[in-house]
A and B are shown apart, each in its own frame.
Chain A
C-alpha cells in the first residue's frame, strides 16, 4: 500500500511497475475524504463561461453564482458580458413554491437590459430536487425573445465534473448549426476545448492563419455566439481539452460529418505535432511545407531560452495533479523537454483510457493517482521527494507549506502557456519557483543561548533549510 489514509481508496493509487491491476477510476468520490473534485454545475460553468457575449444565468441560490463570478481567467478581445454573475437568487419561498415564474421574469428582464445573442440557464442542486421545468421555460423564452435560451442540465449532485462537461456540450450542440456562412478559405476548422486562459488562444490562432486556415469558432475561449452558431461549417475540429470536448466533437462528427483530431498546444513537441497533424489532415503539400517552416522558425527562436532554463531545472522532480487527463499527459512531455522527471501524476476525472495512456508514458516508479485529496497528496509529495507541484489554487498552499515549489496550471495563471512562447513562459515559471532562494531560508533560528553555540553568528548559519 503506497498511502493508506482512507479505506476504499486503495485501488485509486498505484506505482507504475508495481501494480498489475488497472487503476480504479470514474466513480463517486469518497464521502469525508476532501476530494479536489467539484460538481456537475462547475463542469458546465467552466466550459461555457468563456463565451464572452452570452448571458450566463444561474438558476439557483446565491452561493453557486457567487463562487463562479469571473472566476475563470479566460480573456476577451471584446465583449465583457461574461464577466458578470447573473442569478435568480432563489430564496426559501422559491424552493417551496417553485422557481419557474421567477426564472421567466428574470430572463425577460435581463434580455431587455442586455440584449445578449444567447442566454444559458444553468440548473443547480435544488432546481433538480424541486423539479422546475427549465426545458419548458427556456423553450417559451426562446420563442418570445427570438434568441436561443438554452437550458444547461447541471444539477450539482448528478455526477462529477464530467457530467457537467457533457451538459455544456449538449447546450453548445443546440446552438451549432443555426447560421449559414460562406468561409473565406477552403480550409476551415474549429478549436474545441481551448479556453483562452491568460490569452492562450492568441498565442496559437495566428499559426493556423499563417497556414491559410480560417478558424471558424473557438469553443469557447474568447468565443462569440455568432461564430458558434456556424461551427458546423468547419472542415475539421481540433480538440485540445479532450476531457471536456471530445463528447461534442463526436456529436459533430455524427451529425455534420466533421472529423476531429485530438491535439495539444502545450509544449514544443505537442505544438509542433498539432500543426503537422492539421496540415496533414488537409492534405496540402504546400501547407505541410509551411507548417515545417513555422515549426523550424519558432523552435529555433525559442530554443536557446528553453535550453538555458533546462540547464537550471533538469533532473528535478515534478508532481502533476490536474482536472483532466489531456493536460496531464501534455505536461509529462513538456517536462521531458525540460529534463524534469515526473514522480506523481494524477487527475480528478480521468477514465480508464486516460490512465492507460498516462501509465504508458511515465517511468517506472511514478505514482499514478485518481481523485486525490489533500492528505494523500501531501503524503505522496514527501514520499516521492517532489521538488515541484503543478496544479490549481486549492493545492498551491499545501505545496508551499511543505516547502515545495508550485506552478499554477489552472484558471488562475496570468501568463500564456500554449504555443511556442507559452512553453517559454511555463519554463520560466517552473525555474522561478524551483530555484527560488526562499526554499533555502533557515526554518529554525539558531539562538546564541543554545547549548553548544559558542559565538553568535547572526543567524546566517543555515543548518536546516526550509526545503530538503
Chain B
C-alpha cells in the first residue's frame, strides 16, 4: 500500500460518471446531475475524450444559496428545462457529493415536481444516489442499473426472452458483439443497457438531440417477464439488478464474468444454450477454432511474459483468466475500487499475482517495479508509468484519452479474444524491435 494517505494518480473515477454509462444506454434518456455545474462539465469532458462523441449531461447548477437553503428549486427548474430542451422519454437523475452532503431529498423533490407538473408525468424519472465519496464509478454504474430496473420492471405476460444485463461498463463495439451473438442464435432477448449507438453515433443528416438507440423503456419494463437473466461482468460484484429481478419477479439470475478469453466465453455460450435450448450457431464454433489457432500461433512469444493488468475489476478478472490460458504470467492485478470479492477471485485465477484493490497508480507503480514487469495491460492512465519505466502498454478499457478507437475496441467473445492475442503479441514485438535497434 501507499506510504501516504493521499491518493496519488487515481485508478478510478466517481460514482455519477458510472451512472451516465447506464442512463445513456436507455432509449431517449437524458442524464441530469443534481450538484454544482462543474460535475457535469468535467464528466462530459472525460467521456467525450474517451468516446469521441458529444456527451450532454444536464446539471441543476447548484450555487452557494442552494448549498445553504437546499437545492429543490434548482432541481425542479433543471428537470423542467431538460424536458423542454431535450424532450426526453426518461431522465436519469444522479446525485453528487454536494447534493448528498447538504441533505437534499431527491426522491421527494421528484414527487413534488410530478405533482406540480402534470404534463411531465409521462416521463420516467430515475433518481439514484451517487456521491463520489461513497464509492467508485463501477459502483455508480451498478447503482444506476439497479435503480433503472427498480423504477421500471413490471410484471405482465411471460415473454420467452432472455435478459442480457451488462453488469459493468463495456464498449459500444462489445455491446454490438453481444447483440449480434444473440441475434445469430435466433434467441429473443433484452439487452440492458445498450450503448452501442448512443456512444458511437453515425453522422447523419439531422442529428437528434438525444442520440438514437438504447434499450427501450418498454423492454426494461418487460425484463420482469423474461425466461432468465444473465449478467455479464458480474463475477465479483455488480449483481444487484439481476438479483432484484430474481427476487421480485422470480426471473432466474445467472451472474457470469465478462466473456473474455476461451473459458469465460464458453461459460456464456453454455449458459445461453441451457436457457434457450438452442445450440451455439456454427459460425461461433468456427470462431472458437480460430481463437485456439491464434493462441497456439502466439504461445511461444507470450510464454511467461511478466505482466501487470489494471483497470475496472471485471475487465481485469477476464484478462487475468485469459492470460493464464495463454501462458502469460500476470504478476500484478489491480483495480481502483475496494472489493474483497475481486481480491479473492483474482487470487484464485492467478495465484502468483500480487492482487491490489482500492489502490492508486503510485501503489501499482511500486508493484510493477518490484515484480520487474515487462508488459502493462490496462487503460491509458498507466501511460506515465509505462513511459517512465519503458514498459510497453497495451491500452484496453476505460478511459482511453490518447488513442483512437476506444468505441470500436472489443475484447469479448472468441473473436475479441483472438484480436487481443494479436494485440498482445504485436505490442511485445514492436517493443522488441525498438529495443534491438542497433547496428549489426
Contacts and interface: CB of A to CB of B under 8 A. Distances in A.
A57 B6 contact: yes
Given A32-B80, A443-B205, A62 B136 contact: yes
Nearest to B201: A401
B54 A41 contact: no
11 contacts: A7-B84, A31-B77, A32-B61, A38-B38, A39-B36, A65-B7, A88-B7, A95-B97, A156-B37, A158-B64, A159-B64
A444 B206 CA distance: 12
B133 A125 contact: no
Given A42-B38, A375-B85, A443-B205, A67 B101 contact: no
Interface stretch (B40-48, B114-122, B142-150, B248-256): B40-48
B5 A102 contact: yes
Given A63-B17, A63-B97, 7 more contacts: A6-B84, A6-B85, A84-B9, A91-B134, A129-B101, A401-B201, A443-B205
Contacts of B98: 125-126, 129, 156-157
Contacts of B360: 89
Interface string A65-96: 11111100000000000011111111110110
Contacts of B63: 28, 157-159
Nearest to B338: A91
Contact of A67 (B3, B13, B35, B133): B13
Interface string B58-70: 1111111011000
B39 A156 contact: yes
A240 interface: no
B159 interface: no
Contacts of B85: 5-6, 32-34, 373, 375
5 closest A-B pairs by beta carbon, nearest first, are A39-B38, A63-B14, A32-B81, A32-B78, A109-B4
Tell which of A68, A130, A374 has the most Cβ of chain B within 10 Å. A374
Contacts of A39: 36-39, 41
A98 interface: no
A157 B209 contact: no
Interface string B108-147: 0000000000000000000000011110100000000000
Contacts of A5: 84-85
Interface of A: 5-7, 28-42, 57, 60-70, 83-92, 94-95, 102, 105-106, 109-110, 113, 124-126, 128-130, 156-160, 373-375, 378, 393-398, 400-403, 443-444, 464, 466
B301 interface: no
Interface residues of B, number: 73
B388 to A, nearest CB: 9
B41 A69 contact: no
Contacts of B16: 63
Interface in B365-391: 381, 384
A21 B25 CA distance: 43
B75 A86 contact: no
Contacts of B8: 84-86
A156 B38 contact: yes
Contacts of A41: 38
A250 B40 CA distance: 33
Contacts of A35: 37, 41, 59, 61
Given A32-B58, A157-B67, A397-B48, A375 B41 contact: no
A350 B215 CA distance: 41
Given A86-B7, A394-B48, A38 B41 contact: yes
B54 A394 contact: yes
Contacts of B41: 35-39, 42, 394
B335 to A, nearest CB: 13
A377 to B, nearest CB: 10
Contacts of A90: 133
B79 interface: yes
A7 B35 CA distance: 21
